[in-house]
Amino acid sequence: MNSVIIDLSGVYCHEGFTFLPSIDLKELEGTNCYCSPEAAAQLQRRLSDIPLSTACWIDTGDYHYLSYFRGSQIREPFELILLDNHTDDFDDSECLSCGNWVTALKRDTNCEVNSGADSSLPVFLSIDLDVLRPEDFRTNWDQGTMTFEELLETIRRIFLTRRVLAVDICGGKTESKGAMTCELDLNLTRRMQLLSLLNTL
């Protein structure tokens, strides 16, 4: 599986995860946590050029709403499998955000969310690395309890048992949010391990 980086905060540069093809959107305004209508139009256009079969690394959890643009490209009924410490399913704003993009995706597409392992629907797998315990990865959001090995095994199982249409991954911690060198090093190591798995799928 090929991969591409969507760079809005500079987090990948901070970590040294910079050898993948990258779309540099750091100069785009109106993107941090909430997506302005003007930014949404540009993001929709830029992301529509990326094949669904390409894994997207979509910056920190502040930008998880980029998954909406990926999911909205799917033209058949599908299941969203969301590995995230948050539901991202709040309807608290008319503006697309990292907290309500799942609501928007369910409204605008033929999407079911985590409908069960026996579902015959193809899958859009969206991963926020804040699902991991802090010992295994560091983010600027409160984190879950999943171990990194559990995450890898979950991904393997999904690919073995389901038809996967698209994958994206977000999560991390920037220097501006207080990331220390040891945290950046840990996150780089985990990204490399995760990338190695995706390259075999």
Average pLDDT over the chain, rounded to an integer: 93
pTM listed for this prediction: 0.94
117 pLDDT band (50/70/90 cuts)?
low
pLDDT tens digits for 25-79? Answer: 999 999 998 999 999 999 999 999 999 999 999 999 999 999 999 999 999 999 9
163-to-113, 122, 158, 176 alpha-carbon distances in Å? 15, 5, 8, 38
- CATH number of domain containing 21: 3.40.800.10
pLDDT of residue 118: 67
Q: Domain range for residue 52? A: 3-200
Question: What pLDDT does residue 116 have?
Answer: 66
Q: What is the mean pLDDT of residues 87-104?
A: 84
Q: Which residue has the higher pLDDT, 33 or 168?
A: 168
DSSP H or E stretch at residue 56: strand 55-57
Number of domains in the chain: 1
- C-alpha span between 132 and 119 (Å, rounded): 25
pLDDT value at position 31? 92
pLDDT per position as a tens digit, 138-165 = 999 899 999 999 999 999 999 999 999 9
Scanning the structure block, which residue is given the tokens 């073995």?
Answer: 160
- What is the predicted pLDDT for the residue at 119? 80
Tokens of 49: 């050029």
